[in-house]
Amino acid sequence: MKLKIINTSKNPMPAYATTLSAGLDLRANLEEPITLKSLERTLIPTGLRIELPEGYEAQLRPRSGLALKQGITLLNSPGTIDADYRGEIGVIVVNLSNETVTIEHGERICQMVIAKHEQVTIEEVDELSDTERGAGGFGHTGKK
Ligand SMILES: O=c1ccn([C@H]2C[C@H](O)[C@@H](COP(=O)(O)OP(=O)(O)OP(=O)(O)O)O2)c(=O)[nH]1
């Protein structure tokens, strides 16, 4: 599928892949670096707006390197970009480390995966079919 992008950021398009099979790394678009204290969260602008075809969503996911090395992850992971959203993509990051972390302009802060989803019609009913599991959940089978 074709993904239309408006890039109003200071990160030129060559900084972005033109085709993607999985995640596209999104870069912070900042006037100045942002510092995040331990457990602090913020919305990072990307300067990107996209037009997804109906039936698709974009998911924002953490980058494993940032998570492992700096404790930076996405608070609402995966962030959902709706097909009808035309605003700027923002990235909600949180610092789960014990130290202050600095995010610079142009840093790759998350990855965006485009996914197809079912078009679902909701039917309200009085009963659901029986299964062996029934209402058992939340670890009811134990640990081992
Ligand atoms: O990490 C995110 C999550 C959302 N959005 C944008 C795109 C999305 O289509 C819109 C709404 O997101 P969501 O449905 O998660 O937010 P909400 O809290 O339910 O707000 P709304 O009432 O606007 O739907 O905000 C982002 O830019 N980044």
Alpha helices of the chain — where are they, by DSSP H?
64-70
pLDDT digits (tens, 9 = 90+) for 100-117: 999 999 999 999 999 999
CATH number of the domain enclosing 49: 2.70.40.10
Ligand 1: nearest atom to the Cα of 84 = 9
Question: Would 12 be classed as within a structural domain?
Answer: no
Range of the domain at 80: 17-116
φ, ψ for residue 64, nearest 5 deg: -65, -35
Query: Which protein residue has the closest C-alpha to ligand 1 atom 28?
Result: 90
- Per-residue confidence band for 33, with pLDDT thresholds at 50, 70 and 90: very high
Evaluate: CB of 76 within 6 angstroms of ligand 1: yes
Question: Would 52 be classed as within a structural domain?
Answer: yes
Question: Would 87 be classed as within a structural domain?
Answer: yes
Question: Would 133 be classed as within a structural domain?
Answer: no
Question: Would 126 be classed as within a structural domain?
Answer: no
Terminus-to-terminus CA distance in the chain, angstroms?
Answer: 44
What is the mean predicted confidence (pLDDT) over 124-132? 97
pTM: 0.93
Evaluate: CB of 100 within 6 angstroms of ligand 1: no
Question: Would 10 be classed as within a structural domain?
Answer: no
pLDDT digits (tens, 9 = 90+) for 45-94: 999 999 999 999 999 999 999 999 999 999 999 999 999 999 999 999 99
| 65 annotated to a ligand binding site | yes
Question: Would 73 be classed as within a structural domain?
Answer: yes
The number of folded domains in the chain is 1
Evaluate: CB of 90 within 6 angstroms of ligand 1: yes
Question: Would 33 be classed as within a structural domain?
Answer: yes
Q: Is the ipTM of this complex over 0.95?
A: yes
- Per-residue confidence band for 31, with pLDDT thresholds at 50, 70 and 90: very high
3-state secondary structure of 15: helix
Ligand 1: nearest atom to the Cα of 85 = 9
